[in-house]
Copies of this chain bind each other. A is one copy, B any other.
Amino acid sequence: MRQAGRSLPEYREIRGNGSILDAIAQPELAAEITLQPVRRHNVDAAVLFSDIVVPVHAAGFGIDVTPGTGPVAEHPFRSQGDLRRLPPLTADDISHVTETVDILVNELPTAVPLLAFAGAPFTVASYLIEGAPSRTYQHTKAMMHTDPDLWHDLMERLTDYAIEFISAQLSHGAQAFQLFDSWAGALSVRDYESFVAPHSTRVFSTLNERHADAPGIHFGIGCDHLLESMHAAGPQVLGLDWRTPISSARTRMGSDLIVQGNLDPALVLAGANIALDGAAKVLSDNGGHPGHIFNLGHGVQPDTDPGVLTEIVAFIHEQTATENPPS
């Protein structure tokens, strides 16, 4: 469950009030934050405590994450000259992240894999171009259409960042990865296919070549209209938010589709009974299919009762114990 940490008192105690990037820069702290929800909820995998802008920040673009607002770039990406601010990502740039991975691989129980994490090129590009969280993606869409060469140059760089960032985490022992295209759902199918899909496809094809054993998960919010395209980009697993029924996704993309999801996080806020009922409906929607990673359909809300999350995990383990007997 992504962002499960932020609902925990033990997280708030050690996290501090500054930029998330400051916390990510401290390997011992970042590892501890990654471990907290694993210890408390007994989940089956750990998701690296990270942020979508970590690689562009590490490469020196000039971006920070303002608490309560999100990623903010004082000088947004608007012209050819800004490409200079995106030099190739080096191992040194992200040594704090690979150190965190080293600690986690050592401390996590062997049965609990670590999931690598990176933002997809489009979503990172939208933060660089808008300079702040946006509802319309006005400047991003304008650049796609008015200067497609510059757009694709930018996307090439960000694709390289995503590949190198995930590859480093996998080389240090992460066992699977998630590519988050959080805001791709703002695009029409036509724009996604023309301006985004080729780049996200390169992320998956390159990583599949380099790390054949590490499955990739592709996810975005409100992407129901893009699911076929996001699936075609080459992930082994398609993340679903709560909007799309798992059964509909398999009708559309094949009965062997492997999915992650998709309990509505708002139902988790409504108390244990509603949350467990919702979790049961997700399992029922999946119908005992082996290709299902149970998860929320989006990140955990900060004001979630952690006790409800623990109950959900126990319930899922209990319900699926007979489906997947321990070997």
Residues of A that sit less than 8 Å from B by CB:
136-138, 141-142, 145-146, 185, 187-191, 222, 224-225, 242-245, 248, 264-267, 269-271, 273-274, 277-278, 281, 301
Known: A142-B266, A146-B271, A224-B225. 12 other contacts (CB 8 A): A136-B265, A136-B266, A137-B266, A145-B274, A145-B277, A145-B278, A188-B242, A188-B243, A189-B244, A189-B248, A190-B281, A225-B248
Q: Name the residue of chain B whose CB is nearest to the CB of A298.
A: B136
CA distance A140 to B97 in the complex (A): 39
Give the residues in chain B near A273, CB-CB below 8 Å. 146
Q: Contact between B267 and A187 (Cβ–Cβ < 8 Å)?
A: no
Closest A-B pairs by Cβ, 7 of them: A142-B270, A224-B225, A141-B266, A145-B274, A225-B243, A224-B224, A188-B242
CB neighbours of A245 from chain B (8 A): 188-190
User: How far is A264 from B264 in the complex, measured between Cα atoms in Å?
Assistant: 28
Question: Quick one: copies of this chain in the complex?
Answer: 2
Most B Cβ at <10 Å: residue of A136, A189, A243, A278: A243
Interface SS of chain A: helix
Residues from chain B with a CB closer than 8 A to the CB of A188 are: 242-243, 245, 264
Is the beta-carbon distance between B270 and A244 smaller than 8 angstroms? no
* Distance A252 CA – B105 CA, assembled complex (angstroms): 47
The smallest C-beta distance from A275 to any residue of chain B, in angstroms, reads 9
List 10 interface pairs A-B (beta carbons < 8 Å), by A numbering: A136-B265, A141-B267, A145-B274, A146-B270, A185-B222, A187-B243, A188-B242, A189-B248, A225-B225, A225-B244
In the docked arrangement, what's the CA distance between A321 and B104, Å?
Answer: 66
Q: Given A136-B301, A222-B222, A225-B243, A142 and B189 touching (CB < 8 A)? A: no
Asked whether B266 lies within 8 Å of A138 as measured between CB atoms, the reply is yes
Chain B residue contacts of A243, Cβ below 8 A: 185, 187-189, 225
Output the nearest chain B residue to A243 by Cβ-Cβ distance. B225
A274 to B242, CA, bound (A): 34
Q: Whole-angstrom distance from the CB of A147 to the nearest CB of chain B?
A: 10
Chain B residue at smallest Cβ distance from A262: B188
* A266 to chain B: closest residue by CB: B141
